[in-house]
Structure 1
Amino acid sequence: MRCSLVFHAPEPHEVGHQPSPEVIEEMQKLMSDYADALYSAGVFVAAEMLEPQAKTTTITRRGGCVVIEDGPFAATKEALAGVFVIDVESRDAALAWAEKFPGTSYGVVEVRAAAVSYIDGHWVQP
């Protein structure tokens, strides 16, 4: 079963300060160790850590017109910060991996099973 571990975290300006280079370096090491553990366990599919919301561009097509705007779709205290896609045998296994996610020390991980996945050129339902 494919699951996305959807990571939400406060934007640095929302917390009132930018993390120090040492804190950033430590979190990068923890995230690398986490990704390595997923890979070693054979459940890793993909991972992306995203740029801050301020660098977002939103595209919509409403009323027949394409509208391109700078900034996120919605202003929230916690922003989408990253996504890890894993392929595990059960929901419990996905939750066990989510519990180990390093970012839960300052953010939230949402566990969502895939309804359909595009794999090797085909849509596949679990």
Structure 2
Amino acid sequence: MKYMMLVCVDPNADFTDVESVEPWVEENDGRGTRVTGHELRPIAEAVTVRVRGGELLVSDGPFAETKEIIAGFDILECESADEAVAIAAKHPIAKKGAVELRRFADHEFSA
């Protein structure tokens, strides 16, 4: 089962004492449970795109007003939800931020 793991942080929080993410990445890449992932650029560079009544609306900033922002993502391939939770719980950001897990839908969009 594939899971999207959204790594969320409060942009005002102090993360100086949070351990590096690299050992977590190396461990899960080595186990084959991490398909891909990447840190995202700062929220100040985000662009939100909407179409309303046929009109394109583009605005600067995040897509939603929230305290926490999505700082990065990983796609996991796990045997169970319990395995995905165990992997997410070991992510260093889980200690100060939040890690949201969402299982991929059973269908895919095709071109």
Give the TM-score category using the shorter length.
Answer: 0.7 to 0.9
Q: Which runs of 4+ in 1 moved over 3 A?
A: none
Cross-structure match for 2:4: 4
Amino-acid identity (%): 30
Instruction: Provide the secondary structure at the position in 2 that maps to 1:69.
Output: strand
Please list the CA deviations of residues 10-60 of structure 1 after superposition, one character each: whole Å capped at 9, or x if unmatched.
11xx34x7x6xxx38x64xx2111111011111121101112211101111
TM-score (norm 1): 0.77
Query: Higher Cα Rg: structure 1 or 2?
Result: 1
* Number of residue-to-residue matches in the alignment: 110
Gaps of 5+ in 1: none
1:107 and 2:89 aligned: no
Cross-structure match for 2:64: 74
Please list the CA deviations of residues 60-109 of structure 1 after superposition, one character each: whole Å capped at 9, or x if unmatched.
11110111111112221111111110101111110110110110121001
Give the Cα–Cα distance (whole angstroms) in 1 for the partners of residues 104 and 24 of structure 2.
Answer: 21
Taking only aligned residues, the RMSD between alpha carbons, in angstroms, comes to 2.1
TM-score (norm 2): 0.87
Cross-structure match for 1:32: 22
Gaps of 5+ in 2: none
Which of the pair is proportionally richer in helix? 1
Give the Cα–Cα distance (whole angstroms) in 2 for the partners of residues 87 and 74 of structure 1.
Answer: 28
